[in-house]
Structure 1
Amino acid sequence: MAARMSNRPIAAIVLAAGKGTRMKSDLHKVLHPIAGRPMLLHLMASVDALSPAKKVVIVGDKADQLEAALGGSAELAVQDPQLGTGHAVQQGEGALAGFDGDVLILYGDVPFVPTATMQSMIDRLNAADTPAVVVLAFEPDDPLQYGRVITDGDRVTKMVEHKDATEVERAVRLCNSGLMAAKARDLFALLARVTDDNAAKEFYLVDIVNIANADGRSCAVVTTDPNDVAGINSRAELAQAEAQWQAFKRDEAMAGGASLRAPDTVWFSWDTELGRDVTIEPNVFFGPGVTVGDHVTIRANSHIEGANIGAGCEIGPFARLRPGTVLEEKAKIGNFVETKKAHLGKGAKANHLTYLGDATVGAGANIGAGTITCNYDGYFKYQTVIGENAFIGSNSALIAPVTIGRDAIVAAGSAVSRDVGDGDLRMVRAEQLVKPGWADRFHDTMRKKKAAEKK
């Protein structure tokens, strides 16, 4: 049946009331992260691409956690007690009072449903034969305990849970994902007629299809890839979902012009952005909030989070860039260098063994090995400002708040607590004291003492 596009308003009801006991966690199941983002928010982002008029999340256990994570972006409806999926969807009726549009029924622990798949369900719902319900189905390698979708063409003739299915029905490979679409006026009218006359004594959502069929209405099926509707109920399944997402992101990165020397060892965040001709060596980890410009090289074993890396920069190996790091064009962060809220100007470099926190480093400045910005006094953080083309000698401590001027030099081994003017040299070292022959006398004394103890 040919679909037509619809301009009807869309609402989404997302089921997230389950206790998630198999996770064995104090964190709500749907808030466990994949690629640094709660799985529920992955799903909500796909929903948001449809510009829905309403979003309702059905909550139960740990509702306060969901409320905090959603931050007012969706209405909440409580399911208590929890009497099955049909009962859960019914709890959204109040939030959708007066809504006359299309409703998507989704699950918070099924996070990777593509927006295009959701749209295909809506389009099928508004096709010329006007089905009462659209069911999203899939064909897994092993049907396991999934409910079955019995069809004639793309018309659903029966929905049955595995525990209630006959052997003939269990032989059907088309399985119910649980996701559905229906017009609001049909959905809640059908739900009101669902009973708990089944083996589990629950109100099954799938029964709305059977009720609509009994009324002589048609119901339709849309199919999708099993990976799109994979549910997450345990730590093992969470790890599988993470691996699936990372594999997709790596392929996407390489297709976009990045070179990954050992793809399986690179871990991306949900929002990592890479430019063209970026080279990433093995064992690189991206946390949230990283943007990488063109022609950047990120060497092995680097950890990057909350950083904006300009074109032509070089990072690592063994570098750690923490949130608030900004590197302008061709800046360099070398091995065993850590940055936090540090802004390095064009061509500035810190090649090794350095900590730069709450610092601004001017273009062309050179930070010597072992330099640290002493930015915290135990109570407050302070700023260090290093001017353009300044040279900071090795093993220097810059005690903030402090400003090092343009073209200034800080001599190696200095502990600088006062500002250094443009073009000045600052050397802060204790006077060297020499005692001729002292070490020889000390060694002789100690050897004699040790020999006496052995007798």
Structure 2
Amino acid sequence: MTDFSACALVLAAGKGTRMYSDKPKVLRTLLGEPMLHYVYSALDTVFEDKIYTVVGFGAEHVEAAFPDYKSGFVLQKEQLGTGHALQTAWSSVQESGCEYCFIINGDTPLVNKVTVLDFLDAAVKDKTDLSFLTITPDEENQFGRVIRDKDLKVKAIVEAKDYDESVYGPPSGEVNAGIYCLKVSAIDGLLSRLNNENKSGEYYITDLVDLAVESEMNVTAVNCGNSIDLMGINTPYELSKAESALRFKIVDDLLRQGVVVHNCECAAVGPKAEIAPGAEITGPCEIFGKSVISSGCLVESNVFMRDAFIAEGAVIHSFSHIEKSEVGVGCSVGPYGRLRPGAVLEEGSKVGNFVEVKKSRLGKGVKASHLTYLGDSEIGAGTNVGAGTITCNYDGKNKFKTIIGENVFIGSNTAIVAPVEVGAGALIGAGSTITKKIGENELAVARGKQVNIRRHTEKS
């Protein structure tokens, strides 16, 4: 990177009416993460702590989603256009003491660090006062049209609503990507000259191009062709297309690193997830958040994970759901297993068909194979939990804990009413409702005595 100082300004104040959502557009997600996350990821290592974000609609939600950037948020109380957003944040830009200001829309999630660095380096090397990136997409949509003279020098950017072919001629197909590099000292005197004399009644950053050209400044535009990486997102359709492109890139990288991905066209892996070479996953599946899948793991189809840790050699069978949980070495989950936040499975334990575990630790080799709910529990190594067992942890007001020792055998259809302790080596008879402590190596049977009564029928 050329030796110069630069800050970044992210424009994230708009509502995004064409997204048909009550949440800020930049919080709409791709592969489980807000689109603004991807923009920050491209900027973090380049600009470090000199990243400023203009927020407006739903500002409190954007700030809450990204607390690490709190000191860099600038509130645009009225959303009067991109030019007004720049004016609102300009004092922060000046106070940064940086020579250059890089500007990007918060709805450009496919942008990458290399593009940012190359653009900055080129702008500084060419000693530009104002530089911006352009693209030539298949459809021009609502992008601003780039106007060049016969020598291909930039003259202006005209917003789509204001473009008049009788004045500017047929569109060239080159449009503004909404990414700029401004020399702070040069642009300082132009900001006050922006006006809102256009069909939208807004102040546009794009008008700075015309003003800079009039002032005989060095203005350049870098055409990046039909680059999907620079496309902004304005509609659900565009969001879906961008997510597909991102999904393909992430899965392709995993394949090249040595991860086996069956039915890879249907595997969705988030940008924060880590899957080690030697792991094997099968689509359709969704692996989001800070999930970690270790080498030697097998993840079958139709599995959903978020913030899960899966240790070496574990097997996650089909249709399982794992969230904020840990699965130890050689464990087995599912099919149709559900691990809710706080579930921890130690080495070799098994959670089988239609078993739900929440905020519980299963010791080494514990087996809960069928139709069971284990909540707020500690279960010792070697314990076998019979089908239909329930730890009754909630009394309508409070949650209570169940503690079960090692090598306990729990018969089918048992209800353990917390708080209660079961000693090591104990045996609980099937169909029992346990409400009192069971000592070590004791047999507990808590059920009504069977009574057989002759039925009365028409024949009797």
Aligned match of 2:232? 231
Aligned match of 1:106? 104
The 10-residue stretch of structure 1 (195-204 or 269-278) with the greater mean CA deviation from structure 2: 195-204
CA contact (8 A) 1:258 1:279 kept: no
The residue type paired with residue 104 of structure 2 is L
Kindly state the Cα deviation for residue 258 of structure 1 after the two structures are TM-superposed: 4.1
Kindly state the Cα deviation for residue 384 of structure 1 after the two structures are TM-superposed: 1.5
Kindly state the Cα deviation for residue 354 of structure 1 after the two structures are TM-superposed: 0.8
CA distance in 2, matches of 1:293, 1:370: 28
The 10-residue stretch of structure 1 (270-279 or 333-342) with the greater mean CA deviation from structure 2: 270-279
Aligned-partner SS, 1:176? strand
Aligned-partner SS, 1:122? helix
Aligned match of 1:369? 387
CA contact (8 A) 1:246 1:268 kept: no
* Post-superposition CA distance 1:65-114 (Å, at most 9, x none): 33333336233333344332122111101233422213221222222322
CA distance in 2, matches of 1:351, 1:48: 46
The residue type paired with residue 348 of structure 1 is V
Aligned match of 1:284? 303
Q: TM-score w.r.t. structure 2 length?
A: 0.84
Aligned match of 1:451? none
Aligned match of 1:452? none
CA distance in 2, matches of 1:149, 1:352: 64
Kindly state the Cα deviation for residue 252 of structure 1 after the two structures are TM-superposed: 4.0
Aligned match of 2:66? 70
CA distance in 2, matches of 1:349, 1:224: 58
CA contact (8 A) 2:54 2:89 kept: yes
Aligned match of 2:24? 28
CA distance in 2, matches of 1:54, 1:231: 23
CA contact (8 A) 2:84 2:204 kept: yes
CA distance in 1, matches of 2:205, 2:437: 71
Kindly state the Cα deviation for residue 149 of structure 1 after the two structures are TM-superposed: 4.1
CA distance in 1, matches of 2:445, 2:42: 58
CA distance in 2, matches of 1:383, 1:99: 53
Matched, 1:443 2:457: yes
- The 5 A counterparts of 1:80-119 are 80-101=77-98, 102-119=100-117
Aligned match of 2:222? 221
Closer/same/farther in 2, CA of residues 217 and 235 from structure 1, 3 Å limit: closer
Aligned-partner SS, 2:89? coil
* Post-superposition CA distance 1:105-124 (Å, at most 9, x none): 12222223223322223322
Q: TM-score w.r.t. structure 1 length?
A: 0.85
CA contact (8 A) 2:8 2:47 kept: no
Kindly state the Cα deviation for residue 355 of structure 1 after the two structures are TM-superposed: 0.8
Kindly state the Cα deviation for residue 207 of structure 1 after the two structures are TM-superposed: 2.9
Aligned match of 1:204? 204
Aligned match of 2:11? 15
Q: 1:160 aligns with which of 154, 157, 160?
A: 157
Closer/same/farther in 2, CA of residues 411 and 242 from structure 1, 3 Å limit: farther
Kindly state the Cα deviation for residue 224 of structure 1 after the two structures are TM-superposed: 7.6
Q: How many residue pairs are counted as aligned between the two chains? A: 435
CA distance in 2, matches of 1:256, 1:292: 18
Aligned match of 2:144? 147
* Post-superposition CA distance 1:329-376 (Å, at most 9, x none): 222211111111122222222111111111122222222111111111
CA contact (8 A) 1:261 1:280 kept: no
Closer/same/farther in 2, CA of residues 353 and 140 from structure 1, 3 Å limit: same
* Post-superposition CA distance 1:309-339 (Å, at most 9, x none): 2232222111111111222222221111111
The 10-residue stretch of structure 1 (328-337 or 272-281) with the greater mean CA deviation from structure 2: 272-281
Kindly state the Cα deviation for residue 179 of structure 1 after the two structures are TM-superposed: 1.3
Extract unaligned runs of 5+ from structure 2. 267-283
* Post-superposition CA distance 1:201-253 (Å, at most 9, x none): 53321233343344242435273873323323233333334444433444344
The residue type paired with residue 126 of structure 1 is V
Q: 1:399 aligns with which of 413, 417, 422?
A: 417
CA contact (8 A) 1:275 1:294 kept: yes
Kindly state the Cα deviation for residue 195 of structure 1 after the two structures are TM-superposed: 3.6
Closer/same/farther in 2, CA of residues 395 and 254 from structure 1, 3 Å limit: farther
CA distance in 2, matches of 1:225, 1:273: 35
CA distance in 2, matches of 1:283, 1:96: 47
Aligned match of 1:240? 241
CA contact (8 A) 2:15 2:23 kept: no
Closer/same/farther in 2, CA of residues 410 and 237 from structure 1, 3 Å limit: farther
Aligned match of 1:338? 356
* Post-superposition CA distance 1:48-78 (Å, at most 9, x none): 3335333322222233333333336233333
The 10-residue stretch of structure 1 (161-170 or 56-65) with the greater mean CA deviation from structure 2: 161-170
CA distance in 2, matches of 1:83, 1:143: 23
CA contact (8 A) 2:145 2:176 kept: yes
The residue type paired with residue 134 of structure 1 is S
Extract unaligned runs of 5+ from structure 1. 449-455
Closer/same/farther in 2, CA of residues 225 and 46 from structure 1, 3 Å limit: farther
Kindly state the Cα deviation for residue 254 of structure 1 after the two structures are TM-superposed: 4.1
Q: 2:326 aligns with which of 308, 329, 334?
A: 308
Aligned match of 1:425? 443
Kindly state the Cα deviation for residue 260 of structure 1 after the two structures are TM-superposed: 4.0
